[in-house]
């Protein structure tokens, strides 16, 4: 069954998936052609639900790929039978959510509901209340896979009918997401759903800003274990999704953000235009500390640039790791937007020295950094 589903999924563009096909030469009758087409669709719809209720997670996940490909084919064909197959598939999802349904049947049905929402949203709009009731029924299910699927469905129903979601479901769904953010094993899914919902609702989450900010701070600087880079991406994405209303809250997170070691993820997160002047100054201080401390064996106060002049600062730079971090710092200088700063002195004191570094890769990264800093100063 797994191989069959994989073949169906991979054949979506090449004709391998079951779909309406031209009749063979020996079958010239249109009635035979239609009967054959209906039979093949029926065969697929029946077969896919066996796999979607398989006890093995990977089988269910691969089967969803096949369902996605099948829906794409149906959409392209635009036959008068399409609604019939959509209706049959939605009915089958409800069959898999019966009173005595197993966990794997519930999980498979929820995955299928997600694909139907993504691919045939217009058909699903008339079933919005039924889908919402399914989501509410399983919000607090004991199985983590089921809860994960429910959390992932929330942005989809928010996008489907925004106004109805805001009126009837936003409070209960946000309460669920905020509970999920407190569970370490599930908070990543919660943040992703939160980002997508924020993008769909366009300013309707302002009442939750303080709570969201608190969860972001806890995720960036966990009380236990090592800090993770992944939560940094949530800060940037939520800031973009929420818009200007999130700006002061993100500003309050910058101390926590800059407590992380320099990384490509950190640099990408810092691309927040409304906070650019503040971020420029802090990032320059951060990079200055890396370049100064990496070049000299003894730590010293680092020269850092603020708008128009040089200030003396000693920011903490955790987890330095030699040439790799130096090269990343140099690449950041070359690529990040530092316009508006006179960086000639900074380039001479902190960057030019790396043009003669023993490491060839470091020398290679130092050259565009110097050029960019000089160009920005004119």
66-80, 304-318, 334-348: the lowest-pLDDT one:
304-318
The answer to whether the CB of 236 falls within 8 A of the CB of 276 is no
d(CA 125, CA 116): 11
Which is nearest to 329 in space by CA: 277, 271, 283, 374?
283
The total of other beta-carbon atoms located within 10 Å of residue 373's CB is 24
* Distance from C-alpha of 27 to C-alpha of 21, rounded to nearest angstrom: 12
- Cα gap 116→363, rounded to integer Å: 53
Least confidently predicted of 54-63, 153-162, 208-217, 265-274: 265-274
pLDDT > 50? residue 158: yes
292-334: per-residue pLDDT in tens? Answer: 866 554 333 333 343 444 333 334 444 546 789 999 999 999 9
Q: Tens digit of pLDDT for each residue in 177-216? A: 999 999 989 999 999 999 999 999 988 999 999 999 999 9
Alpha carbon distances (Å) from 122 to 16, 83, 154: 26, 11, 17
Residue 263: which pLDDT band, with cuts at 50, 70 and 90?
A: confident
Q: Are 135 and 157 in contact (CB under 8 A)?
A: yes
pLDDT band of residue 226 (cuts 50, 70, 90) is low
**Looking at the chain, how many residues does it have?**
378
**CA-wise closest residue to 264 among 321, 188, 350, 329:** 329
Q: Convert the pLDDT of each residue in 80-139 to its tens digit.
A: 778 888 888 899 999 999 888 999 999 999 999 999 999 998 899 999 999 999 999 999
Kindly report, residue by residue over 6-58, the tens digit of the pLDDT: 454 444 444 444 433 334 444 444 444 555 555 566 788 788 889 999 999 99
Please give the pLDDT value at position 217: 93
DSSP letters spanning 43-64:
HHHHHHHHHHT-S-HHHHHHHH
Q: Per mean pLDDT, which range of 174-178, 229-233, 366-370 is the poorest?
A: 229-233
Q: What is the CA radius of gyration of the chain?
A: 27
Structure confidence at residue 132 (pLDDT): 94
Has residue 61 got a pLDDT over 90?
A: yes
- Helix (H) or strand (E) segment spanning residue 331: helix 323-335
């Amino acid at each position: 069954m797994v191989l069959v589903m994989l073949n169906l999924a991979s054949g979506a563009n090449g004709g391998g998936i079951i779909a309406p096909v031209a009749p063979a030469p020996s079958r010239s009758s249109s009635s035979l052609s239609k009967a054959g087409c209906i039979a093949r669709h029926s065969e697929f719809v029946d077969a896919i639900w066996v796999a979607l209720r398989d006890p093995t997670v990977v089988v269910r996940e691969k089967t969803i790929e096949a369902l996605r490909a099948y829906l794409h084919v149906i959409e392209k064909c635009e036959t008068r039978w399409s609604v019939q197959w959509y209706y049959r598939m939605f009915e089958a999802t409800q069959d898999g959510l019966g009173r005595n349904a197993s966990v794997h049947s519930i999980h498979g049905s929820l995955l299928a509901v997600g694909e139907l929402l993504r691919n045939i949203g217009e058909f699903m709009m008339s079933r919005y209340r039924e889908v919402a009731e399914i989501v509410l029924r399983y919000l607090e299910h004991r199985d983590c896979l089921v809860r994960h699927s429910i959390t992932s469905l929330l942005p989809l129903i928010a996008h489907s009918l925004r106004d109805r979601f805001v009126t009837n479901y936003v409070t209960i769904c946000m309460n669920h997401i905020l509970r999920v953010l407190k569970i370490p094993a599930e908070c990543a899914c919660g943040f992703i759903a939160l980002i997508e919902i924020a993008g769909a609702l366009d300013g309707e989450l302002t009442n939750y800003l303080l709570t969201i900010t608190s969860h972001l701070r806890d995720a960036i600087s966990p009380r236990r274990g090592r800090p993770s880079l992944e939560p940094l991406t949530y800060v940037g994405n939520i800031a973009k999704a929420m818009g200007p209303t999130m700006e002061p809250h993100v500003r309050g997170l910058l101390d926590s953000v800059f407590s992380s070691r320099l990384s490509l993820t950190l640099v990408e997160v810092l691309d927040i235009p409304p906070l650019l002047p503040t971020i420029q100054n802090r990032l320059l201080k951060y990079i200055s500390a890396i370049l100064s401390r990496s070049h000299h064996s003894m730590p010293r106060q680092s020269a850092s640039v603020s708008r128009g002049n040089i200030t003396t600062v000693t920011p903490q730079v955790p987890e330095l790791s030699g040439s790799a971090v130096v090269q990343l710092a140099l690449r950041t200088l070359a690529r990040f937007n530092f316009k508006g700063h006179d960086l000639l002195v900074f380039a001479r004191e902190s960057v030019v020295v790396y043009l003669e570094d023993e490491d060839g890769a470091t020398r290679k990264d130092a050259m565009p950094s110097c050029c960019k800093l000089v160009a920005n100063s004119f």
